[in-house]
Amino acid sequence: MNIMAVHEQPHRHVRFHMPSVRKAGAAQRSADESAAVVMTATSAHVLAGLRVLTGFVFLWAFLDKTFGFGYATPSGKGWIDGGSPTKGFLGSVAAGPMESTFHDWAGAGWADWLFMLGLLGIGVALIAGIGLRLAAAAGTAMMALMWLAEWPPAKHLSDGSPSMSPNPFADYHLIYAVVLIALAAAGAGAVWGLGRIWARLPFVSRNRWLL
């Protein structure tokens, strides 16, 4: 009877509940995705801020050279007062392989117009967040020419005096060029800008180089 009683009792299985590896992995993926979203949003806002500030550098240069606010351009020496935006800078080039060429360009009407339209166009494009590829191309060309004009590799100027160049290669013109290219490559016009609206315009969607 005792044996029968033992066999009639229901079998009880002891189970050990271990944390689910699948649930832990899903939670980790969810945390990683949330962190990625936060990083993406943060990066987008940082790039937008960099874009607007860089745009203001170009736009302010245009305004100061046009109206002579008394900063880089003295009052009464602005473009609207008959001053030349390129004569002072290009005329003072004193080193590099294009020294004589820049002297010839200094004060030329076409050079003034190209320079000023470049500053205005790049500044407006960056602040508005539109045409960043064009702005990057034009800005890189402008920065390359200004780099050649200052010619950082030179230890001495053409008259033999020290150039006082702080770095033989990496100066602020190259930094600006890299920033412009990075902003265009990242499509940084969507945040704090009109990039999305601009991209949906028919003529822009048909000509992607206008983005």
31 within a domain of the structure (yes/no): no
User: Per-residue pLDDT for 64 more than 50?
Assistant: yes
Residue range(s) defining the domain that contains residue 91:
49-210
User: Per-residue pLDDT for 29 more than 70?
Assistant: no
160 within a domain of the structure (yes/no): yes
The pLDDT value given to residue 111: 98
The pLDDT value given to residue 20: 54
User: Per-residue pLDDT for 107 more than 50?
Assistant: yes
Grade residue 30 by pLDDT with cuts at 50, 70 and 90.
Answer: low
Task: Tokens 């109206």: give the residue.
Answer: 67
Please state whether 129 falls in left (phi above 0), alpha (psi between -120 and 50) or beta: left
User: Per-residue pLDDT for 207 more than 60?
Assistant: yes
24 within a domain of the structure (yes/no): no
Grade residue 22 by pLDDT with cuts at 50, 70 and 90.
Answer: low
6 within a domain of the structure (yes/no): no
26 within a domain of the structure (yes/no): no
User: Per-residue pLDDT for 60 more than 70?
Assistant: yes
Per the structure, the count of domains in the chain is: 1
27 within a domain of the structure (yes/no): no
Task: Give dist(CA 123, CA 85) in Å, integer.
Answer: 16
44 within a domain of the structure (yes/no): no
Average pLDDT over all residues of the chain: 87
The pLDDT value given to residue 41: 86
The pLDDT value given to residue 28: 53
11 within a domain of the structure (yes/no): no
Please state whether 15 falls in left (phi above 0), alpha (psi between -120 and 50) or beta: beta
The pLDDT value given to residue 39: 54
Which uninterrupted H or E stretch holds 208? none
pLDDT in tens, 145-184: 999 999 999 999 999 999 999 999 999 999 999 999 999 9
Task: Give dist(CA 200, CA 82) in Å, integer.
Answer: 41
β partners of residue 162: 156
User: Per-residue pLDDT for 82 more than 70?
Assistant: yes
Mean pLDDT in residue range 29-33: 53
User: Per-residue pLDDT for 32 more than 80?
Assistant: no
- Could you tell me which of 71, 98, 102, 67 has the C-alpha nearest to residue 88? 102
DSSP annotation string for 21-79: HHHHHHHHHHHHHHHHHHHHHHHHHHHHHHHHHHHHHHHHHHHHHHH--SSSS-TT-SG
